[in-house]
Structure 1
C-alpha cells in the first residue's frame, strides 16, 4: 500500500484528518531535480527503521536517496535506543550520502571528517525549523534536537549516522511534530506542537529540512569536509545548548568525565574543562550518556 492509498481508509489508522499523509509525488517534484543532491525519494506507510532499510541496500543506492516512513515500529537512536511515535505524528526519514566520492568541484572528504555529518544534520534541521515552523531549536551534543515547552527544554528529535556498504553514510532524522502530551514516549519529551509551532504541516517542514541539508552538505563538501571553512563549526557552536554547561560524560565500563563544555573541536568532539584544569575532548562514539551535572564543589 502506498501513502496515497492510505488516504482512502475511512475509520482506519490513516484517517486522522489532523495528520494527513505525505504526498510522495509532490515531494519528488519539488526536491528530485537535475543538479540537486536528492536523486530519489520514497514514502512508505510503515517500516521497522528507515536507517536499517537504507543501510541494508546501500551498495545498490545512489547518493541522495531519501526514504521516509509514515510510521516506524523499530526506530533506532544511538546505542540502539528505541524511537517510537504514532503514525504520521512526526517525520521519520533517512538519507544516503557518499562523502568519499570525488565530485565535480569537490574532492573526496577524508573519513576522519565524516563524524561531522550528524552535527551537520542537526544544524540543517534546526535552521529549517526556525524558518518553517517558527520554533527555536537548540542542539544538544551530539545528536539531539531540543525545543522549549513552557520553561523546560525537551527533546523533540534525534539524529543517527551510520556507515553503510562501501563508502556510504546513512543519516537518519526522527522529529516529533504533532505529538500531544498523552502521546509522548517519556514525560521529558517534546514536540513542535507542544512548543507552539506556527505550523505542524509536515510537507513544508520536510522540504525545508532536505533543502537545508543539501545546502550545508554542499558547502561542507566544497570545503573538503573542513568544518571551519564551511562555517559548520561556528554555526553548530552558536546553536549548541550544551556549551557553557557543566556536564557528566558517562563512559563505557562505568568511568566518567565531569566538566564545563567549552567547545566543539575540529573533529566534532565536545571539549570539557575539568576541575583539574585539564581540557578533555570526548567523542560521540566514546560515551554512553551525556548528562547535566550539578555545580562544581567549592574549594
Structure 2
C-alpha cells in the first residue's frame, strides 16, 4: 500500500513546507473529481468558493475521466492528483490578470510544472506530448485536462488538473502504452514531495505568465518566453505523427515541425502541405515502420476530469 499523503506538509499551518508559503492547498480523502469539485464551488460561491490558484488534492478519485470522456480508475494512493482554480484578477487587485485568449495555455503551464517536478525528484526524462500528456520513455505517465469555469459573478476562469501515475504496477495499467513512476524509477516515489514540486512550479509559472500579460512571446526577468520553453520541452516536435482530427476529417500524417503562438501544432504533411492543427489526438509514429508508437492513443493516467473544454482549449486532445 503506498504511503498516504503528508497532509501537514501540504496545507496551510505551522508544518506546511516552506516552498508552499502563502499557497492555499486543500486535501480531501476521496472525491469523484477534483476538477468537478472546484467548478461546482466556483459556481455556487462566494461562500466556500476557491481563490486564485487554490490547489485541491485527493487520495482517491472515484469518477475520473480522460479524453473523449473515457473513464479511468486507479487503486487508492496510486496516483498524484491535483487541480487548480485559475481566476481573473478583480479590478482592484494588485496582480495582473490573464486575457481570456491566453487561458488555453494553462494546460501546458501545468505540464511544464509536472515535467520539472518529475525530473527533479526522479531524474526520469519526462517530456511533453502535444497537447496535454507527459511521457517517459515514450509511454504516457500523466494526463492534464482543463475546464472553463465561471464564478458566481459570471467571471471566466479555468480549472486545470493533472493525474500522475505514481504507484501503478504493470498489472494495473490498461495497456503497454501507459506507465508509472514506480515502474520507471524502480521504486516508490514520494507523492507528497512530487505534489509540492508541482504546486510550487505551477504557481511560479502562472505568476510569470501574468507578468508577461499572457503573451507567450514575452520574456520576463528571470523567465524566458513561454513559447520557447514549451518548444524545448515538447517531445512531439521533430517526430512523425498521425493526427486524428474531428469526425469527418481524414487523419493527417506528417512531420511535427513547430508550435505556433496560438498553441497550434504545425505539421508538414506527407503531401508537402504545412498544416496548423488546433484540435486533434496526436499519435507518435515509429519512424521505421509508420505504425503507432508506444504512447499512441494511450488511455492515459488518471485525469481529474474532462467534461468540458477550457476557453480555446479543447482538452479532449485539442489546443493546449
Q: CA deviation at 1:218?
A: 0.6
User: Normalised by the size of structure 2, how large is the TM-score?
Assistant: 0.78
Cα contact 1:132–1:199 (8 A) shared by 2: no
Find the counterpart in structure 2 of residue 20 from structure 1.
Answer: 3
Call closer, same or farther: CA 1:208–1:199 in 2, change over 3 Å.
Answer: farther
Q: CA deviation at 1:119?
A: 0.7
User: Normalised by the size of structure 1, how large is the TM-score?
Assistant: 0.83
Call closer, same or farther: CA 1:183–1:293 in 2, change over 3 Å.
Answer: closer
Call closer, same or farther: CA 1:45–1:33 in 2, change over 3 Å.
Answer: closer
Determine the C-alpha separation between the residues in 1 that align with 2:174 and 2:285: 24
| CA deviation map 1:158-178 (0-9, x unaligned) | 000111113221011000012
Q: CA deviation at 1:296?
A: 11
| CA deviation map 1:40-96 (0-9, x unaligned) | x22122111111111111242211211111111211223322232111111012110
Match of 1:30 among 7, 12, 17: 17
Moved over 4 A (4+): 31-34, 99-103, 293-297
Cα contact 2:87–2:156 (8 A) shared by 1: yes
Matched pairs, number: 269
Find the counterpart in structure 1 of residue 79 from structure 2.
Answer: 90
Bigger shift: 19-28 or 83-92?
19-28
| CA deviation map 1:155-211 (0-9, x unaligned) | 010000111113221011000012111121323210112112676011111101100
The reply on whether 1:260 has 2:255 as its aligned counterpart is yes
Call closer, same or farther: CA 1:98–1:295 in 2, change over 3 Å.
Answer: same
User: What is the SS of the residue equivalent to 1:76?
Assistant: coil
Q: CA deviation at 1:254?
A: 3.3
Higher relative CO (CA 8 A, sep ≥ 6), structure 1 or 2? 2
The reply on whether 1:236 has 2:221 as its aligned counterpart is no
Determine the C-alpha separation between the residues in 1 that align with 2:270 and 2:139: 28
Find the counterpart in structure 2 of residue 212 from structure 1.
Answer: 201
